[in-house]
Chains A and B, each alone.
Chain A
Amino acid sequence: MSCGAKKDVSRRDFLRSGASLATLQLAPGVTLMAFGGSEAQAAADAGKRWGLLIDASKCAPDCNACITACQDENGWKGGGNAETDVQWIRKVTLKDKSSGRETSLPVMCQHCESPPCVDVCPTGASFKRKDGIVLVDKHICIGCRYCMMACPFKARSFVHERVTNQKTHAPRGIGTVESCTLCVHRVDEGRIPACVEACEAAGHGAMVFGDLLDPESEISRRLAAYPSVALRPDLDLNPGVRYREI
């Protein structure tokens, strides 16, 4: 790791200096983001809670940009077997029976504040990071799939088949359960999730990513200004993913 070590240090310095250029410190703990996105995270920060706001009225029914981007980013392309293929994010169509109006929206792990998947996990593999991102530690997961049954959003998948060519930043393999990581590897570098980026690039801008605890963040300001809902609010899970216009 000698050569690697040097590279890591310079990369770290780069990230840190990049972050200080792009942001303006207003007061201790209060930072103004110059270019959107988030400050490069040196580590998971308990002072933040990452979330998504999805505006269903901007989500095009025939668009799959978020799904494709997630597959490319995290390397989970299916093997053509619908019964067993994993699905980190899916497009769901809601239909109002009386009016016939249809709404299209992406659904992924909702990064619940009180995650049932974590409650039921017998090994401690399912866990919530201090910044609210819910993950599976695949070194511990035994593939029992309790979490899949506990999740009200069908957000988790079991890997049934052998996997090759994983992304270095997204290890995944047979016998473990996985779900949306909110692109945690990107978030830790101060970048936004791949789906949000792709939605923006496709010209829809239906998704906003940000810190729910920072009242000045774009996501918090929108949540404060317009009505929004959590999926299955009756369950009181306080998910980090919120929806508008559904």
Chain B
Amino acid sequence: MTNHWIDIKNADVVVVMGGNAAENHPVGFSWVTEAMQHNNAKLVVVDPRFNRSAAVADYYANLRSGSDIAFFLGLIRYLIDTNQVNYDYVKTFTNASFIVREDYGYEDGLFTGYDPKTGSYDKESWFYELDDQGYAMVDESLEHPRCVWNLLKQHVDRYTIDKVVNITGTPKAQYEQVCQVIGATHANNKVATFLYALGWTQHTKGAQNIRSMAMVQLILGNMGMLGGGVNALRGHSNIQGITDMGLLCQNLPGYLKLPSDKDVDLQAHFEHHAPKPLRPGQTNYWQNYPKFFVSLMKSFWGEAATPENNFGYEWMPKWDMQYDVLRYFEMMKQGKVNGYIVQGFNVLSSLPNKAKINEALAKLKFLVVVDPLAVETATFWRNKKLFNEVDTANIMTEVFRLPTGCFAEEEGTIVNSGRWMQWHWKGANSPKEAKADGEIWAGILAELKRLYAEEGGALPEAVAALDWQYVNPANPTAEEVAKQLNGQDVATGRQLSSFGELKADGSTACGCWIYTGSWTEQGNMMARRDNADPSGKGITPGWSFAWPANRRILYNRASADVNGNPWDKDRTLMEWTDGKWTGIDVPDFNSKLDPQASAKTGFLMQPEGHARLFANRLMAEGPFPEHYEPMESPIGTNPMHPEVITNPAVRIFADDKAQLGDFEDFPYVGTSYHLTEHFNNWTTHSRLNAIAQPQHFIEMDEVLAKQKGIANGDWVKVSSKRNYIVTKALVTKRLQPYVVNGKTLHTIGIPLHANYEGLTREAYEINSLTPYVGDANTQTPEYKAFLVNIEKAEAI
């Protein structure tokens, strides 16, 4: 979230799309109802299903899963057509006025630079025109034919309302109404917030779904505002913190990058990641990258990181391609992986195409499962009739199942969606011999260090150098690690109070630069529990610590105009008065600069200081979003450009491509979601939740049910090209057929709480059905739009 949970109360319009907050984030959703009751806010819900958020909405619009980009590009066109654009904001804070290179272009579904052989783009032309000093050229009048604004106008011009609803299946009146309600927030004193979740990410163009919405927020002037922003309602309790910790294949803590083969040495790594400013007078905050990186190396390698050895840079592993979990299971299936460690992740029940996951795991020499619960992954080798039919005796994988504690049995921090780092305390012991995760790594590492010291081996110096100097190396405490994450002055051990103090010379150590300030000489800032809200706007500066720098609303320079006057007096966040900046939040800009200078750096992590309507070379499939069909399209064509149906930059492996189904055999749109009683299949192990929702089922509309002779509560077989599941049918009015490109379509809604080792009734896992293909940027699998068939079945 650029904003945070309580801030939702400041909105005039709340849009829930690509998520279902009432059901999946119920307590956070109480701030939506607060806004409705006390701020007269309107709730708009756009979803393929009339879900629980829709049930309390003022406006609801139906759309076919996988058509969100068309919905938004049509909305942008509508905003421009009806002059509902906040031009002052757009000119001040976005790259609308930046001039794009002459060789950039778009035609019939493809941007310039596409290579059909590799299925990827040469993105060279997707960039600004630069002057001889290397600065981007701009035309503040927005008249230049190649300025971003005019290119955007041209790009969205094709998305007339009729074309949009033909793709999305939304009734035209519903679509126009939603456009109107959202459009009204272009006014300086009206603000909309968007709340989304996996309903947007789990598509082969998930990142572009989100970009489309972010562009709308910029055009309306809703970024950096109280009650506005781009608000991802994240899933797992600490998925934000673990992303901050960089536990992704190309990341390091604090959004630093794991070096690649191209970074031949430390200098090259810095050159690639500390950008040059693209406009004069930029803060260009990533220019500080070397300070953050060297401080991280000091926290990794301790005393062994010296200027002479480039702070241990050489020991860091370098990637040559993105080894995301989908690619890695493909490699595993091909027999290229020997060992795998799975911590708190029921991978057998969650990655797409379960049969492939089973096959891959069986190729391993060893599997280590570290988990508090008896999850299916650890027993993938066990034959479980119907649900896991495998040949146990022929699975030669050695498996270890190691018990861990849970949240209640440890202390430490988790980070909520609003970036609040909340410290928690231990309230119980873990069962019997269970150990904390860190204690388990410590145990294995101690053995490895001993073996390498005794026997030598490959790169033993890295194993020896890896810093593990905790008071009790066998069980590091949360307190000492939290202090390390905050960062220290190496010589004195003083806790730093701001990332401005970090140095690139090895004199500071810091595990995660964006966390600096969370544990200072004043103590543990994350454990603070003052819930006072002096401004009444939901800014509780004394409760926990919000990264970065205890800032609650990101991009808050954009809450005021170019002269530093708030767009809306009632939403004053930062204000220029009597020659200085004041406000209720921590400035997200250089507050030593005057309003005009600071306005140019409103998005200070960008080398041009402006938010990007045109994404330059950051995205795999284009600098602007474009509508592409899901990999399994229910209409088999793309009404915008029949020659380019699906995302042209998608990566798909040959065996998975062969397992894509078509709409003739699998005519219905399958989409997955959660019930409020269950968190994936984790809660199936909790008795109360198992009692509340003991049985798996799917949802289908009444028209289709009648056609198929399926009654409410009947057993049904749902199949995809990959496999099938047998479950119960819930026939409901919540789903309705819709007409897309002249065809009547039906959605099969598939809740996720299905497994067979929990306390619920044994069920087929739904990842048996889903396609093994991900978003072209993130590789997040397409769980929200795939093709299935359905028929009546025998009871199981």
A binds B: no
Chain A residues proximal to chain B, CB less than 8 Å: none
